[in-house]
Amino acid sequence: MTESARHYSRADRLVQGFADGLRALSPAASRPLPAAISEPLSDGERQAAASLMRINHAGEVAAQGLYHGQALVARDPELRRHLLDAAREERDHLHWCAERLQQLQDHPSRLSPFWYAGSVAIGALAGLSGDRRSLGFVAETERQVSAHLQEHLQRLPEADRASRAVVQAMKADEERHGAEALAAGGALPPAPVRGLMQAVAGLMKFGATRF
């Protein structure tokens, strides 16, 4: 019997959500780290790249939380499968960012559990608004993430080809996930909600670079 064919109770989903959360914070990649050879970085370049990759890692922790929160309350089994499949694919991003941070002699944000828990709550609220709006929330989230990844491509040191390769691969996945959500019938959130999403993302960026 496939996952979409089973009937899960709310308790089953809570247990599954807890397990998903543990995996999100200790990710295992299914795809290898995008490969590129960087030139030697100065201390300033290394620190600048590490700061950006910490933000990216925090963003991917939050993305896991959003997907898991939405999947927890999804009414349509097919939508739940879509959300969890996307979360599993984006788990690679977490591993890539963590591995690149280690190479840059840095570490992920210590607030990762907070980013995850808060994002689960936000994702659940988005999911409770209905499946079409939930998909639209995914599409808008991915649009904003793609925009900030493009900004990071402009800010990363030219010599740091390794980080650039990771960010470019992440950006391609985010754009595809957003397009798939719209193609599945997603309805984009209204402007005030989009603005609130940007404000929350700004708060996360601020915290991730400092803690």
Kindly calculate the radius of gyration of the chain based on its CA atoms and give it in whole angstroms: 17
- Is 175 flagged in the annotation as binding? no
Tokens of 11: 């308790």
Residue 1: per-residue pLDDT: 40
- Is 60 flagged in the annotation as binding? yes
Average of pLDDT values for 137-157?
94
Domain ranges within the chain, ordered by starting residue: 52-206
Residue 131: per-residue pLDDT: 87
- Is 142 flagged in the annotation as binding? yes
Task: Please tell me the distance from the alpha carbon of residue 125 to that of residue 112, in angstroms, as a whole number.
Answer: 20
Q: Each residue of 28-80: pLDDT tens digit?
A: 667 888 877 777 899 999 999 999 999 999 999 999 999 999 999 998 888 89
Residue 2: per-residue pLDDT: 40
Cβ–Cβ under 8 Å, residues 50 and 90: no
Closest CA to 153 of 167, 143, 141, 142: 167
What is the chain's mean pLDDT, rounded?
86
- Is 140 flagged in the annotation as binding? no
Residue 22 has pLDDT above 90, yes or no: no
Cβ–Cβ under 8 Å, residues 134 and 79: yes
The top-level CATH class assigned to 52-206 is: mainly alpha
Residue 148 has pLDDT above 70, yes or no: yes
